[in-house]
């Protein structure tokens, strides 16, 4: 009888031998085991004499052979990193190619959808618009189909604008019917009028489906290209022919400069709205970090120049930059009614005059000096007429300021006329000259809400204000036809709209005044020009107000008041206007013009103070916190 147990290794071996040929040997999971234990898939136990032979081989008296498990050779770390980098690079290139393809397709689709939407609108409104009139062979449409289709906003710029259905909104009606003629409830920035923006459905219909994720890298290049094409030639700090002014080089040079450029360029395209919001936030944050110049030592540059007759190019650039910062700060202090943040106004004026003495001075250096002198007149008026308080001899003060404006205009008009056509100084001098006269004479009209409020003394200033507003409207129609209107800032657009609104309010009070038909035609000319601006908010407001006023006047009784001849340059004199006012006041009940309690309107002088003709073409001036010392420098020439 055998002394081994039933489950001994010998019995297991005998049982497997009787059962037939065994399966292929599977290596055990143990790192070190003999061949017999591996075959049986059992643990290799230590024998009585040591590790070898094992207990199972010792009992069965068989040879104990240990086989080391061969481990797989691991690749080196550098080889793994190289393989991962190659795979990442390959995927990155594929992703970049796909993004570029998607961006081009998206631009083409958006352009086609805009054209389809315009054609549908034309058919609904009864307008006969052919494919030829849509500019199918225009450079803008050709660029959409090219590799640089990123400038898709050019299609919107060059495509004829179709008038929207005129349905006066409540805000447009209230603007005409309530408040005095020198105030406005619409605010100084038309971009704040969210109630007049297109609905989400209209936006989707015009620009396609809502984009779930913005390709900021591709869109940033598009915005940069738009900036270099449209805005760069008008900014005095950069050379348009500088080969180093590229997307990559500007990003390496300064993040503040980069995001300011992207902000200005993104604002020009309706399809870059998401990028504009991001770039604007980044620019504001960087401006707060740099505090707009003092930590950079720009205000000390002029004093540290060794030879002021032969300064370095970098020194001239820094002085010109600091002068612009100070002048812009001064202008915004007038607009907000707060003291300037940088008390270097007189020093900046001396530095601006020094720039004119240099042999390589720029035409825009004249612009800086002219802006400073203009600000001095504006600030003196702001001090005298702040908080609706007029000095005792206010008529003499108005005349003195008016003479100062005329002298300033006479001085700078011939100087600006000698500049090149690229410079906008001449047009801006004309714009702000008429604006200043309108605002100056309107100070005598504060509180005028009805025809009875217009006294004989006020009538003279009303007549002068109307003439200035009409001159502003004619200037808009004559010198800012597209594409010129597309290259001005938001402030200039608001100046034209404000002048037209002032005329509409005067006609609402005095419908029997002379040349109403001509004034309506001049306002319509402003609407036609502003209709080419992206967004069309200004034109939409004026169109609604003009339609409402025409409907309102058609319901009033006709007065037998003599109308001056159109060719008479003195039409609408004080005596004729007073007779019309008396007849109008006696023949028609006045409209209720009560202003809501506690409501504060924007004074017309804010148009003057917030309108710097020193602003570069294409810059933006968002409404930020007036207490923020950096609100004035938002995207100003990209510090």
- Domain coordinates in residue numbering, the chain: 25-68, 291-633
Token pair recorded at residue 405: 């404006």
177-181, 402-406, 433-437: which range is least confident on average?
177-181
CA distance 292 to 294: 7
Both tokens assigned to 260: 């300011």
Contact yes or no for 487/617 (Cβ under 8 A): yes
- Cα separations in angstroms, 429 against 188, 288, 367, 475, 491: 20, 32, 9, 11, 14
Answer yes or no: is pLDDT of 381 > 70.
Answer: yes
- Tell me how far apart the alpha carbons of residues 430 and 499 are, in angstroms, rounded to a whole number: 14
| pLDDT given for residue 68 in this prediction | 63
CA–CA dist 608, 586 (Å, integer): 35
Q: Looking at 174-178, 255-259, 439-443, 594-598, which range is the least confident one?
A: 594-598
The HSE-up count of residue 148 (CA atoms within 13 Å, CB side) is 12
* pLDDT of 461 strictly over 70: yes
- Span 245-258, average pLDDT: 86
Under 8 Å CB-to-CB from 433, ≥6 apart: which residues? 405, 408, 409
Classify the C-alpha dihedral 372-378-381-383 as positive or negative: negative
Average pLDDT over residues 45-54: 80
Q: What is the pLDDT of residues 101-135, one digit of tens each?
A: 887 787 777 777 666 655 554 443 433 332 222 33
Average pLDDT for 239-253: 84
The pLDDT value given to residue 434 = 92
- Of the two residues 442 and 27, the one the predictor is more confident about is 442
Task: Note the pLDDT of residue 471.
Answer: 94
How much is the pLDDT for 520? 93
Q: In the prediction, which pLDDT does 146 show?
A: 36
**pLDDT tops 80 at residue 430:** yes
CA dist 302 and 318 (Å) reads 8
| C-alpha 131 chain-centroid distance | 31
**Stretch among 35-39, 86-90, 297-301, 559-563 having the lowest mean pLDDT:** 559-563
Higher-scoring residue by pLDDT: 262, 126: 262
For residues 295-301, average pLDDT: 73
Q: Which residue has the higher pLDDT, 57 or 30?
A: 57
Residue 530 has pLDDT above 70, yes or no: yes
State the pLDDT at residue 141: 33
- Reported as a single tens digit per residue, the pLDDT across 613-624 is 333 333 333 333
Residue of higher predicted confidence among 118 and 509: 509
Q: Say what the pLDDT of residue 119 is.
A: 59
Question: Distance between CA 501 and CA 442 in Å, rounded?
Answer: 13
Q: What average pLDDT score do residues 83-105 get? A: 82
Please give the residue that has the higher pLDDT: either 134 or 504. 504
For residue 407, the model assigns a pLDDT of 94
Mean pLDDT of 6-11: 48
Tally DSSP H helices, then E strands, for the chain: 23, 4
Per-residue pLDDT tens for 541-554? Answer: 888 889 888 888 88
Q: 153-162, 367-376, 383-392: which has the highest mean pLDDT?
A: 367-376
For the entire predicted model, the pTM comes to 0.53
Confidence at residue 470, expressed as pLDDT on a 0 to 100 scale? 94
Q: Is the pLDDT of residue 420 over 70?
A: no
Structure tokens at 492: 């200039």
pLDDT at 310: 87
Q: What is the DSSP string of 488-556?
A: S-HHHHHHHHHHHHHHHHHHHH-TTSTTHHHHHHHHHHHHHHHTTSTT-HHHHHHHHHHHHHHHHHHTS
Residue 409 pLDDT greater than 70, yes or no: yes
Weakest-pLDDT range from 85-89, 379-383, 406-410, 417-421: 417-421
pLDDT at 518: 92
Question: At residue 208, does pLDDT exceed 80?
Answer: no
| Range of 210-219, 447-456, 525-534 with top mean pLDDT | 525-534
How confident is the model at residue 503, as a pLDDT?
A: 92
pLDDT at 408: 93
Average pLDDT over residues 197-223: 51
**Which two structure tokens, joined as six digits, stand for 638?**
């990209």
Residue 529 pLDDT grade (very low, low, confident, very high; cuts 50, 70, 90): very high
Mean pLDDT of the chain: 68
- pLDDT, tens digit, for every residue of 142-158? 332 333 333 333 333 33
- Which whole-number Å values give the CA distances from 379 to 385, 432, 463, in the listed order? 10, 14, 24
Give the residue-averaged pLDDT of 608-616. 35
Residue 473: band (very low, low, confident or very high) from pLDDT cuts 50, 70, 90: very high
The pLDDT score that the predictor gives to residue 404 is: 92
The rounded distance, in Å, linking the Cα atoms of 219 and 277 is 12
Which residues make Cβ contacts (< 8 Å) with residue 499, sequence separation at least 6? Answer: 434, 435, 438, 468, 469, 470, 472, 473, 476, 526
Q: Is 602 helix (H, G, I), strand (E, B) or coil?
A: strand
Which band of pLDDT confidence, cut at 50, 70 and 90, is reported for residue 73?
low
The per-residue pLDDT for 386 is: 57
- The C-alpha atoms of residue 365 and residue 362 are separated, in whole angstroms, by 5
Q: Evaluate if residue 91 carries a pLDDT over 80.
A: yes
pLDDT over 60 (residue 340): yes
Q: Is 41 helix (H, G, I), strand (E, B) or coil?
A: coil
pLDDT at res. 477: 92
């Amino acid at each position: 009888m055998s002394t081994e147990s039933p489950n001994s290794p010998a019995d297991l071996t005998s049982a497997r031998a009787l059962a037939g040929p065994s399966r292929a040997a599977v290596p055990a999971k143990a790192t070190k085991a003999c061949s017999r234990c591996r075959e049986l898939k059992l643990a290799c136990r230590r024998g009585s004499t040591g590790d070898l032979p094992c207990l199972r081989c010792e009992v069965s008296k068989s040879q104990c052979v240990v086989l080391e498990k061969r481990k797989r050779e691991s690749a080196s770390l550098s080889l793994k990193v190289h393989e991962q980098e190659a795979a990442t690079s390959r995927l990155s290139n594929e992703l970049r190619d796909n993004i570029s393809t998607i961006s081009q397709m998206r631009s083409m689709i958006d352009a086609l959808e805009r054209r389809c939407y315009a054609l549908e609108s034309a058919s609904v409104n009864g307008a006969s618009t052919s494919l030829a009139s849509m500019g199918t062979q225009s450079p803008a449409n050709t660029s959409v189909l090219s590799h640089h289709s990123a400038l898709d906003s050019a299609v919107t710029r060059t495509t004829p604008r179709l008038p929207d259905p005129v349905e006066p909104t409540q805000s447009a009606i209230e603007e005409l019917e309530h408040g005095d003629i020198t105030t406005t409830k619409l605010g100084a920035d038309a971009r704040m009028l969210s109630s007049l923006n297109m609905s989400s459905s209209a936006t989707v219909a015009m620009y396609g489906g809502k984009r779930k994720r913005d390709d900021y890298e591709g869109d940033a290049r598009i915005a940069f290209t738009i900036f270099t094409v449209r805005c760069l030639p008008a900014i005095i700090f950069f050379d348009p022919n500088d080969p180093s002014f590229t997307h990559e080089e500007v990003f390496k040079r300064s993040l503040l400069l980069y995001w300011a450029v992207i902000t200005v360029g993104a604002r020009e395209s309706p399809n870059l709205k998401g990028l504009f919001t991001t770039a604007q936030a980044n620019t504001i944050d960087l401006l707060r970090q740099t505090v707009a110049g003092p930590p950079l030592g720009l205000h000390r540059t002029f004093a540290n120049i060794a030879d002021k007759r032969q300064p370095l190019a970098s020194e001239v650039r820094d002085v010109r930059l600091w002068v612009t910062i100070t002048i812009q700060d001064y202008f915004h202090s007038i607009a907000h009614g707060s003291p300037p943040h940088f008390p270097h106004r007189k020093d900046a004026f001396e530095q601006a005059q020094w720039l004119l003495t240099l042999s390589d001075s720029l035409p825009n250096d004249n612009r800086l000096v002219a802006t400073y002198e203009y600000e001095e007149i504006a600030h003196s008026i702001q001090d005298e007429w702040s908080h609706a308080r007029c000095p005792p001899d206010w008529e003499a003060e108005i005349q003195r300021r008016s003479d100062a404006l005329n002298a300033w205009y006479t001085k700078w008009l011939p100087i600006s006329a000698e500049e090149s056509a690229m410079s906008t100084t001449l047009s801006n001098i004309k714009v702000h000259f008429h604006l200043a006269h309108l605002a100056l004479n309107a100070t005598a009209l504060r509180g005028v809400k009805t025809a009875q409020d217009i006294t004989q003394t006020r009538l003279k200033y009303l007549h002068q204000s109307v003439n200035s507003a009409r001159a502003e409207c004619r200037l808009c129609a004559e010198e800012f036809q597209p594409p010129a209107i597309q290259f001005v800032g938001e402030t200039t657009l608001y100046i034209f709209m404000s002048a037209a609104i002032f005329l509409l309010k005067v006609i609402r009070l005095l419908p029997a005044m002379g040349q109403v038909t001509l004034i309506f035609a001049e306002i319509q000319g402003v609407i036609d020009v502003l209709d080419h601006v992206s967004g069309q908010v200004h034109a939409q407001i004026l169109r609604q107000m003009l339609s409402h006023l025409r409907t309102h006047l058609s319901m009033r009784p006709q007065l037998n008041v003599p109308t001056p001849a159109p060719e008479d340059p003195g039409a609408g004199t004080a005596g004729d206007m007073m007779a019309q006012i008396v007849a109008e006041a006696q023949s028609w009940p006045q409209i209720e013009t009560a202003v809501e309690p506690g409501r504060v309107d924007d004074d017309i002088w804010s148009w003057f103070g917030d309108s710097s003709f020193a602003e570069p073409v294409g810059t933006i001036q968002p409404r930020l916190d007036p207490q923020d010392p950096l609100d004035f420098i938002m995207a100003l020439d990209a510090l």
